Amino acid sequence: MAVLSLCLAHGNTFFFSIMTKLIVVAFLLLHTSDSSSSSSSSAPGAAGMLEPLFQYIDDHQNQFVQRLKEWVAVQSDSGDHTKWGEVERILNMTAVRIQEMGGTVEFADVGTHQLPSGETVLLPPVILAEFEKDPKKATLCIYGHVDVQPAKMEDGWTTDPFNLTEIKGNLYGRGATDNKGPVLAWLHAVETYQAIEKEIPMNIKLIIEGLEEVGSYGLLELTRKRNDSFFADVDFIVISDNVWATRTPALTYGTRGSSYFFVEVDGPKLDFHSGVYGGSIQEPMSDLIALLGSLLDHTGKILVPGVTDDVAPLTEDERKLYDNISFDLEEMKSVAGVKHFLQDTKEGVLMARWRNPSLSIHGIQGAFSEPGTKTVIPKQVTGKFSIRHVPNMDPPDVERKVKAHLQQVFSTLKSPNRLRVTATVGAKPWVANLKDPQYVAGQRAVREVFGVDPELIREGSTIPIAQNFQEETGKSVMMLPIGGHDDGEHSQNEKISRYNYIEGTKLFAAYFYELSLLQ
């Protein structure tokens, strides 16, 4: 094994050519945790195989951008159920594109959903699609979503969020990076193989939904239902629904989970004039502020007893992964528009964002928030906050501890008002195995397209489907992002650069090839 390692470390391509595929895979599985090892080197002949694919993508990039423009124009905001018709429209457009490429499409029913008003509505379906199968090939399942966050010009957008606009090489529009751009890039990668009449080296399946932004209603149940059918022959699942951490391409091996809380304080029967009742009653808003203020301190430390007790300890191997990440604190301060972070080092900031839990307060419903003045004492207010979970935190356990803490704090206020705490989401964190063959193929593909080793990163946000797929199907799951670190997903002026969109398409095409070598 020492001789094998030495040969690989010196990039002996002749050695690769005479070793059997089985030995190569065995070595890679043992050593891929070292991102500097030659396991990330592309197989001999990769450049010759991939160059015609890359040329086609370059030649058709304007067509690919135009298609993204057509998709961005669909206002598929899943957070507003009155726009679910637009969600279904973009799902139909996606299905038509797959069918035009020769794929088969099923619109899978995922049932109904009860709205806060009590009304029950039919959920938009989920696309289950596949291209022609070869039993001798491994099967890759691609997940993506085509719904988006809300967006309006008055939110602070510079351009119309639903009219893709190119400015200085950036493509601005809602859904450009999250997640319409990456979904199209996958389809364009498949199209490229077909167009130049090269055999796609993997069997390709797709699962595309339209409710990711609101929690993927019905998708977990569908996954369980189709585990013995649609997922039965799947070997790998890949997701491209996040962004790089820096300017360097990345592979993502973990995400945080989350729980969302509502803290409702209910007081008098009516809103009151503060000049009439102020000082004579215990106001719901005062109670709520006290409750929210008890959750964390000025350093960001969560004050809820026991919530962080189960956080997985930092290992030395994990700590080393942060050394090679080219995260520039000063640049990120500028991007974020802040004078300083709560941590002083690159490693501290990244760990706070990726592998440590956090608590964020998001807003107060029922409070006066319009311009001007209004001297009202609201009768009822609801605070909203979330906690991001990390391994080995358990969402139900977190929820129990949060509720107990808030009840205890409320009891000390001696308030005649009524408290109700509810929670939703409850998504688990996800962490992948960096020794998995997908990460070997991903590293090779990044090197082939971008000429650098990818950074191995985690993602601070929550993508529940990654953990759900891994837990329910038992399949290998990887996240392969193409979005830039400054794309502003969920924010004003969301964008994807033309460079990332087109080079990302090449990355996906190369990934098909590299993964096929590791079957």
Which residue numbers are catalytic? 147, 212
Give the pair of three-digit tokens for residue 196. Answer: 């130049």
Do residues 395 and 259 lie in contact, with contact meaning Cβ atoms separated by under 8 Å? Answer: yes
The torsion angle over the Cα atoms of residues 86, 91, 97 and 99, rounded to 10 degrees, is -140
Give the residue among 238, 174, 179 at the shortest CA–CA distance from 205. Answer: 238
Q: How far apart are CA 369 and CA 374, in angstroms?
A: 9
> Residue 443 is which amino acid?
Q
The residue to which tokens 């008098």 are assigned: 268
Q: How is the chain split among helix, strand and coil, in percent rounded to 5? A: 40, 20, 40
3-state secondary structure of 23: helix
Q: How far apart are CA 23 and CA 435, in angstroms?
A: 15
3-state secondary structure of 123: coil
**SS3 letters across 183-213:** HHHHHHHHHHHHHCCCCCCCEEEEEEECCHH
Q: How far apart are CA 141 and CA 128, in angstroms?
A: 10
Provide the 8-state DSSP code for 38. Answer: G
Do residues 78 and 123 lie in contact, with contact meaning Cβ atoms separated by under 8 Å? Answer: no
